[in-house]
Amino acid sequence: MPTPTPAWYRGTTPDEHRGRLAGGSAVRNVGPVIEVHGLTGRYGGVSAVRNVSFRLGPGGLHGIVGPAGAGKSTMLRLMVGLDRAASGRCLFDGRSYRDLAYPLREVGILLAPPPAHPGRTGRDHLRILARTHGIPDRRTDEVLEMTGLADVARLRAGVYSSGLRQRLGLAGALLGDPPALLLDDPAAGLDPDGVAWLRALLRTLAREGRAVLVTGRLTGELAGDIDRLVILGRGRVLADAPAAEVISRNTVPAVRVRPDRPDDLEKLLRGHGAAVALRPDGRLEITGLTSADVAGLAVRAGILLIENAPVHASLEDVYLALARGR
């Protein structure tokens, strides 16, 4: 017996779906609340994820970040039941993933590496997925176009580059137009143009009210776009808060300057209570004073500042500060 066409496709056009996903005026329902309660995953007696809990609301770009081996990918697998949790659970609007009637239409998932049979074309891979959930073939063409795969849709996935395979995985995650997305390192394999496209796409999806969760390394290309951070270290939550709050709470603002008289400026700044470090490139890194403070002191002393800029803390800085504290 064929699966019925989803109600949200009836009476709508492909252009309306494309407009909604490409930043059009259509407004979708608010995405789900994702709740993780005490998830623990063990492999061979080793805890890869240890009693992790967090709660993510709709309409934002959320990130699980951390260094290699922190447990980021394992978290996503535990959340959807691909790996069995030793304890804890994950709920999407109060339901576990296995209790969702049509998972593709509820939660879009991209795992690394994206699964696709090498002998199937990109279009056939998506059409097979679509038919398991009663999704019309026209939706397959929509996501192929949206992810930049329309011109290679008839090629077998086995000849796709790593970037094309990543795009195919993203197309599969978007196929059911889900209100929640779990994306494991979605920028992997993409070239700079692809990363720029992905950033714009994720922002659009979040603005539509979806709950979008991505994993990434601390040096990941998407780190600066994340609204809320869950930082993992050795399987434990080190921080869970809005990104700006996590960074400001765990780093000390600094200013980097290049003066024409570094020795005189260093002595002057230390006299005003600043900490000053000389960098190998000859610039001074200052904490305890703002960029405007440094500029004012330098002007009054007749010292020329060739460069004067605030130093923006990176996620690596935040992680190191958190790790030292733990």
150 vs 11, more confident: 150
**Structure confidence at residue 16 (pLDDT):** 42
Radius of gyration of the chain (CA): 24
Which of 77-81, 137-141, 161-165, 318-322 is least confident? 318-322
- Nearest CA among 251, 316, 310, 322 for reference residue 286: 310
322 pLDDT tier (thresholds 50, 70, 90)? confident
The model's pTM is 0.79
User: Which CATH class name applies to 7-248?
Assistant: alpha beta
68 pLDDT tier (thresholds 50, 70, 90)? confident
13 pLDDT tier (thresholds 50, 70, 90)? very low
**Structure confidence at residue 112 (pLDDT):** 81
What does the pLDDT look like over 252-308, one tens digit per residue? 889 999 999 999 999 999 999 999 999 888 899 999 999 999 999 999 999 999 999
**Residue range 252-325, CATH number:** 3.30.70
**Structure confidence at residue 21 (pLDDT):** 39
| Two structure tokens written together for 152 | 């290679």
- Nearest CA among 105, 181, 100, 97 for reference residue 139: 105
Which of 19-33, 89-103, 194-208, 259-273 is least confident? 19-33
**Structure confidence at residue 173 (pLDDT):** 96
d(CA 72, CA 234): 10
218-250 per-residue burial string, b: 16 or more CB within 10 A, e: under 16: bebbbbebbbbbbbbbbbbbbbbbebeebbeeb
d(CA 133, CA 162): 27
Q: For residue 319, is pLDDT > 90? A: no
Query: In the chain, where are the structural domains located?
Result: 7-248, 252-325
176, 182, 188, 191: CA torsion to nearest 10: 50
What is the phi/psi pair of residue 239, to 5°? Answer: -160, 150
**Structure confidence at residue 92 (pLDDT):** 95
d(CA 173, CA 222): 18
What's the mean per-residue pLDDT of the chain?
Answer: 87
Measured CA distances, 213 to 5, 148, 181, 222, 230 (Å): 27, 22, 6, 12, 10
What does the pLDDT look like over 166-208, one tens digit per residue? 999 999 999 999 999 999 999 998 999 999 999 999 999 999 9
Q: For residue 10, is pLDDT > 50? A: no
Q: What average pLDDT score do residues 230-239 get?
A: 91
Q: Is 45 exposed, middle or buried (0-12, 13-18, 19+ CB in 10 A)?
A: exposed
What does the pLDDT look like over 133-160, one tens digit per residue? 999 999 999 999 999 999 999 999 999 9
325 pLDDT tier (thresholds 50, 70, 90)? low
Q: What average pLDDT score do residues 70-81 get?
A: 94
30 pLDDT tier (thresholds 50, 70, 90)? low
Share of the chain above pLDDT 70, in %: 90
**Structure confidence at residue 250 (pLDDT):** 83
d(CA 244, CA 285): 22
